[in-house]
């Protein structure tokens, strides 16, 4: 047993050296994760800075209806003193709103209450909504101040509207409502789910070059018979190739995962909603140690399943062209379907648990959201274990066959 493990270790080390000497493997598994994410971080940060600058200079085009209303007249007077507002006058303001020529229409209801109509969902309408909400909130504070002044109340009570969160004592700060805590936590979980699905997809791309290098290339160069003459059983040789492929693809997936998390954290830290959030505390609440181990185990299982499936296709190929043709369908399956795990609707579909490889990605997002169903988890495990066992047996049989040993057809 120890002798076989030593043989497996030596053969795996040899296959890893062969893998990383291959230019395609080195570029896709090492160079791209090391270069693409710093560039993504740079351009993402520049985009956020540009967007924040554009939002600061954004002018909200407002049209008024029912101008005879005193409330509308007061609103118009106040908006003229604001730098963000630009009034547009037209006999049919709602038509302008529908065509997108104005961002908001302000009028009054039968109960003499202000009514604000915004145009459809778009980045500009979101900015307009935020600026108008701040405007009306400021107006309400002034009205409250005036009422308290009329009642001759002590104005120090109004300090409640200008309290700096940094000045709040720890005991008061710890009494935040679950809704206040849930907003950043939900946003971070959503980002982590997307990043996790992208990492699962990158494992498939990271496994393609190694299987072609270790299986098809050996057959193309007629070096497979020499490899089979090594003092090790066929099972050890097949196992070494699969382990090497798994290590390369998993390292590519982990590199992508770590870099994406770092990029996501930097970009999230620049958003207004998550400014000042202690991400270490949020991560510890989102991913306790046990959940982290489960996620890592599922990620390793996904890498093994992908390596086994791809190895079966690559070992069956006669040359490079046939290898890439045979790997097209498994690559699309293992790279596109995991991305669907970022969509919440997928987790409500029971049949998604019957999709091998992809269901492991779905289970990871369920673990992240703490919404794991035991029955679907068991189905996913059984399916992928069966896929791995079947693939290993198929690869061992293909490599051991006379058809492979005879080399490619002339």
The closest of 210, 200, 195 to 337, measured between CA atoms, is 200
Q: Give the chain's length.
A: 410
Has residue 174 got a pLDDT over 50?
no
The closest of 285, 328, 262 to 42, measured between CA atoms, is 262
Contact status, residue 286 vs residue 185, Cβ threshold 8 Å: yes
Strand 104-108 vs strand 114-118: parallel, antiparallel, or unpaired?
antiparallel
Position 180 scores a pLDDT of: 43
Has residue 311 got a pLDDT over 50?
yes
Position 386 scores a pLDDT of: 93
Has residue 159 got a pLDDT over 60?
no
Mean of all residue pLDDT scores within the chain: 77
Structure-block tokens of residue 407: 């080399």
Contact status, residue 361 vs residue 196, Cβ threshold 8 Å: yes
The closest of 227, 260, 243 to 400, measured between CA atoms, is 227
Q: Please indicate whether residue 173 or residue 41 has the higher confidence score (pLDDT).
A: 41
Q: Could you tell me the domains of the chain?
A: 8-46+182-405 (no CATH), 60-170 (3.40.190)
- pLDDT tens digits for 279-294? 666 667 777 888 888 8
Position 51 scores a pLDDT of: 64
Contact status, residue 303 vs residue 313, Cβ threshold 8 Å: no
CA distance 378 to 385: 11
Contact status, residue 82 vs residue 305, Cβ threshold 8 Å: no
Q: Please give the DSSP secondary-structure letter assigned to residue 114.
A: E
- pLDDT tens digits for 2-59? 888 888 888 888 888 888 888 888 887 778 777 776 777 677 666 666 666 665 667 8
- Give mean pLDDT, residues 109-132: 73
Angle at 11 between CA 10 and CA 15, to 5 degrees: 120
- pLDDT tens digits for 289-310? 888 888 889 989 999 999 999 9
pLDDT band at 171 (very low <50, low <70, confident <90, very high): very low
Contact status, residue 75 vs residue 117, Cβ threshold 8 Å: no
Has residue 379 got a pLDDT over 50?
yes
Structure-block tokens of residue 84: 């963000």
The closest of 192, 201, 336 to 260, measured between CA atoms, is 192
CA atoms lying within 13 Å on the CB side of residue 9: 6
């Amino acid at each position: 047993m120890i002798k076989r493990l030593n043989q497996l270790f030596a053969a795996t080390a040899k296959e890893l050296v062969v893998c990383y000497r291959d230019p395609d493997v080195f570029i896709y598994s090492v160079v791209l994760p090391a270069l693409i994410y710093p560039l993504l971080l740079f351009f993402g940060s520049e985009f956020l800075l540009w967007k924040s600058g554009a939002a600061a200079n954004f002018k909200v085009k407002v049209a008024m209806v029912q101008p005879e209303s005193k409330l509308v007249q007061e609103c118009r007077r106040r908006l003229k003193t604001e730098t963000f507002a630009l009034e547009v006058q037209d006999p049919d303001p709602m038509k302008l709103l529908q065509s997108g020529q104005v961002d908001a229409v302000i009028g009054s209801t039968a109960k003499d209450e202000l009514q604000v109509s915004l145009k459809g969902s778009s980045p500009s309408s979101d900015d307009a909504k935020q600026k108008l909400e701040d405007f009306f909130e400021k107006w309400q504070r002034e009205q409250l101040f005036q009422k308290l002044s009329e009642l001759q109340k002590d104005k120090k009570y109004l300090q409640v509207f200008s309290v700096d969160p940094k000045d709040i004592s720890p005991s008061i700060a710890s009494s935040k409502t679950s809704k206040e805590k849930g907003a950043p936590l939900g946003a971070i979980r959503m980002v982590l789910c997307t990043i996790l699905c992208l990492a699962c997809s990158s494992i498939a791309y990271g496994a393609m070059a190694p299987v072609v290098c270790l299986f098809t290339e050996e057959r193309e160069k007629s070096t497979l018979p020499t490899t089979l003459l090594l003092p090790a059983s066929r099972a050890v040789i097949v196992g070494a190739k699969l382990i090497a492929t798994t290590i390369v693809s998993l390292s590519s997936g982990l590199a992508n995962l770590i870099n994406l998390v770092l990029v996501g954290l930097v970009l999230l830290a620049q958003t207004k909603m998550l400014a000042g959030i202690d991400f270490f505390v949020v991560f510890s609440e989102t991913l306790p140690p046990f959940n982290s181990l489960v996620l890592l185990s599922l990620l390793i299982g996904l890498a093994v399943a992908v390596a086994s499936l791809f190895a079966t296709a690559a070992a069956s190929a006669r040359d490079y062209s046939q290898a890439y043709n045979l790997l097209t369908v498994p690559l699309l399956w293992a790279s596109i379907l995991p991305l669907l795990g970022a969509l919440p609707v997928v987790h409500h579909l029971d049949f998604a648990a019957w999709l091998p490889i992809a269901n492991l990605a779905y289970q990871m997002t369920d673990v992240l959201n703490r919404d794991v169903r035991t029955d679907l988890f068991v189905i996913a495990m059984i399916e992928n274990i069966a896929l791995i066992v079947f693939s290993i047996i198929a690869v061992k049989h293909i490599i051991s066959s006379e058809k492979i040993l005879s080399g490619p057809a002339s």
